[in-house]
Structures are given as C-alpha cells and as structure tokens.
Chain A
Amino acid sequence: MPLPAKLQEIVDDIASMSREEKLETLIAYAESLPNLPERLKEERSKMESVPECMTPVFIIAEKDEKGGIIFHLDIPPQSPTVRGLASILLNGLNGLSLEEIISVPADFYHPMNLQEAVSQQRINGFIGVLAHMKQAAVKAAS
C-alpha cells in the first residue's frame, strides 16, 4: 500500500535535502506545531503518553465530521527536535482515515535519511510517536 499522498510528499521533500536543510526544516516544523487547544488542556491525563521519548509527549485524536482523524499533540517548546519530528507526522496524517493511518509502516522514514541530522534515540522516539498516534487514532475511531 502506498504512503498517504501528503506524507509521501513530505518524505520526498526531506529526502532531497542536505543535512543543514533538514535541520532548518525540522525547526520550521517544530515552530509550526500548534498549541494544544484550551478545551483539551483538562484532558491531558486521558491522553496517550509516549514513554519512549525522554521528553513528555502527549497525543490525543478526535474524529472530524467527515470521519477523518485529527490529532492534537502536546510537546514542550524546550524539545524542538521531538516537536519537529512529531509535527511531520501531524502534517502527514491529519484528516486521514483510520485505515490509512494504521497502514503507515514503521520504517516509512528511511528515505528521509534523518540519521544524518538526529541521533538514533530520537528516531526511536519518532517511531514511538507514530505507534502511539496509531493507538490514539484507534481509540478515537471506536
């Protein structure tokens, strides 16, 4: 199954970049990650947490009126790398169906060659975020 179109576009885009461009792009993604909406701040205890990250990462998913899954992430500004990586996932997956989200393979990121810019531990955290976004999506869809 091919990757969702938007995610594929991001992967192709980042794959073509130099290391410096990748770092700049990660910062831009980190800065563009929206804050958790006020109405969800009380829900933090119910949110999916990601123990694989050394940074506290919280994920919640909701269904929109068309049945697509919308994610909200809460990641501290002191962790721009984690924010940037998670923001890539948010941009690539928001609004998709549960089936499309579940079908994204854990190794989809390989072509981006992120390991030239960030450490393996970060990439492990990144895969952790994807796995937990899938879980949050399953919860939201049920």
Chain B
Amino acid sequence: MSYAHPEFLVDTEWVANHLKDASVRIIESDEDPLLYAIGHIEGAVQVDWFTTLQHPLRRDFLTKEQFEEVASKLGITNDTTVVFYGDKSNWFAAYALWLFQYYGHNNVKIMNGGRIKWEQEKRPLVKDVPSYAATSYKAKEANQSIRAFRNDVFKQLEEKKPLVDVRSPKEYSGELTHMPNYPQEGATRAGHIPTAVSIPWAQAVNEADATFKTPEELRALYEGKNIKADKEIIAYCRIGERSSLTWFVLKYLLGYKNVKNYDGSWTEWGNLVDAPIEK
C-alpha cells in the first residue's frame, strides 16, 4: 500500500537535488520564525504564518490580492513547484501549503521530515537570503471546499458528521495548564466541540525523524476512530496550524475526498457565546 497521492510528498534527497531547479521554489515555514535567519536550505525563501500569511488587521488570512503580492515577491509563477518544509514536524509547512491550495496553487509538496530530518542528516544550512525576480502571480478564487467556518461546524454537528480534534489530550479534556494572573492561549473556555474525536496530530508522524507514518499505520489510526474516507470531515486544533497537518494527511496521504480545516479552531469556538462544549 502506498500513499494515495505520493506526488504531494518529496524526501530530503529530492530537495537536495533540486536546489538549483528554477521550476522549484523551496519555502521554509516555521513555528519559530527566527530559525530561518539562523540557517535554512540554500535558495529557500521564508513565509511566516504570523507576519506573512495573516491579514494585517482582521483575524483572517491574506486576501487574494495580498496573496498574489506575496507569491509574486517570492518569485513564484503559477507553474512553479512549491515545496514546503519547517520545524516541529512540518506543522506550519502544512499550514502554508493549505493556504497556497486555498488560493488555487495545486503544484505543492511537503518535504517529508522537514527541518528535523534535514538537520539529522547533517545537510547544509546557509544564512544567505536569496532574492528572485518578481513575477505577476495570479491567484484563483478562494477554494472554500478545504476551509470550514464556524457555521460549517454548527452544520456538521446538526448533521452528525465527524469532527477531529487534533490538539493534545489535555487540551481536549479541558484540563487547564495556566497559572492565575497572566494570559494563556486566548480561549475563555476549555474542552472540545461535542462529538469530536481526539486524534492528536503527532500520532501521524514518527517521533524519531518527523516523517509521516506509513499508509497502513495512518489508515489504522484514523479508521480506528471511525474517521473514514467516505465521510465529510472537519479537523481543528487551537489556531488551525496543527489541524492543517492532519488535513494534509487525510487528504493527500490517505486520499479522503472531503476534508476541511477549521482554522478558527479552539481560539474561536472556546470564545463563542452559545456554542456547545463538552469536557
């Protein structure tokens, strides 16, 4: 058994062999944005979920026009093969890939294992920031079929369709880890969306080298919790970054047709007035 869409994954060796390939743009997207400055893959550019990909004012992603501007500045054309990698088992790499798909860039890949595997293999990192000739990138209309908003989640609940909570077990159970008198992660209520099953994102990757688990292991993991290919599925976490990794696994590694990422996630649901919560 192989992954459903293996073309969405490349290994470190593939990337090492395509550093000078003009049809390929390598993008680093990290949880810790300073990592890029400390050292990155030669020729790679950086996007940061917070300063590059978020709308500067509203809680949302860039608009289509803003996305076009970012992609153009990175020297990406509509035909460029865009390869994402990052720290923390590629959380934020998957997040950036999801946003590129949202605006219709389908020629995207993840470097399996991300920074962790690249560093383990002692492959070189450089500090030189490359610059590429600007392009005039044309984005497509936002692809709403991969993004869930809160109303989609309410509908999902009504129709008794599956939700996957990919946060850690303690976040799911609603056990708070904060101390009094200073802010924690932005949700006033703890717990999970009723009926959501808990499948922490990290179970989809190998701890040793941050690569994805085998197709057999992944299938057993999700089908074991009744998250099956024929269902419409919504995944969420705290801000939508870890769940975009789960979205990638379900959609491209297992080939599920209908999977959405709820990027509002717990920081929205846990603050919504009148929204049902389970603990």
A-side interface residues toward B, CB under 8 Å?
A: 23-24, 26-27, 30, 51-52, 54-55, 78-82, 84, 106, 118-121, 124, 127-128, 131
Contacts and interface: CB of A to CB of B under 8 A. Distances in A.
Given A27-B34, A82-B32, A118-B33, 16 more contacts: A52-B184, A52-B185, A78-B32, A78-B115, A80-B34, A80-B35, A80-B37, A80-B38, A81-B33, A106-B181, A118-B50, A121-B186, A121-B239, A124-B185, A124-B186, A128-B182
24 contacts: A52-B177, A52-B178, A52-B182, A78-B32, A78-B35, A78-B87, A78-B115, A79-B32, A80-B32, A80-B37, A81-B33, A81-B34, A84-B34, A118-B33, A118-B50, A120-B186, A121-B186, A121-B239, A124-B185, A127-B182, A128-B179, A128-B182, A131-B181, A131-B182
A106 B182 CA distance: 8
A26 B182 contact: no
B208 to A, nearest CB: 15
Binding site secondary structure of chain B: loop
B34 A26 contact: yes
B183 interface: yes
A51 B175 CA distance: 12
Interface string B34-56: 11011000000000001000000
B177 A51 contact: yes
B31 interface: yes
Contacts of B185: 52, 121, 124
Contacts of B179: 52, 128, 131
Nearest to B239: A121
Nearest to A132: B179
The CB with the most chain A CB atoms within 10 A, among B178, B179, B181, is that of B179
Contacts, number: 55
Contacts of A121: 185-186, 239
Contacts of B181: 106, 131
Contacts of A30: 34, 38
Interface in B43-82: 50
A23 B32 CA distance: 12
Q: List the 4 closest pairs (A to B, CB-CB), nearest first.
A: A80-B34, A119-B50, A51-B177, A81-B32
Given A78-B32, A80-B32, A23 B37 contact: yes
Nearest to A54: B31
Contacts of B115: 78
B89 to A, nearest CB: 11
A23 B36 CA distance: 11
Contacts of B33: 81, 118
A54 to B, nearest CB: 7
Contacts of B34: 23, 26-27, 30, 80-81, 84
B165 to A, nearest CB: 17
A34 to B, nearest CB: 17
Interface string B150-171: 0000000000000000000000
A20 B32 CA distance: 16
Interface in B181-214: 181-186
A81 B92 CA distance: 15
A127 B116 CA distance: 28
B123 to A, nearest CB: 15
Contacts of A119: 50
Nearest to B179: A131
Interface in B18-32: 31-32
Interface string B208-251: 00000000000000000000000000000001000000000000
A24 to B, nearest CB: 8
The CB with the most chain A CB atoms within 10 A, among B34, B37, B179, B181, is that of B34
A131 B180 CA distance: 10
Contacts of A79: 32
A120 B54 CA distance: 13
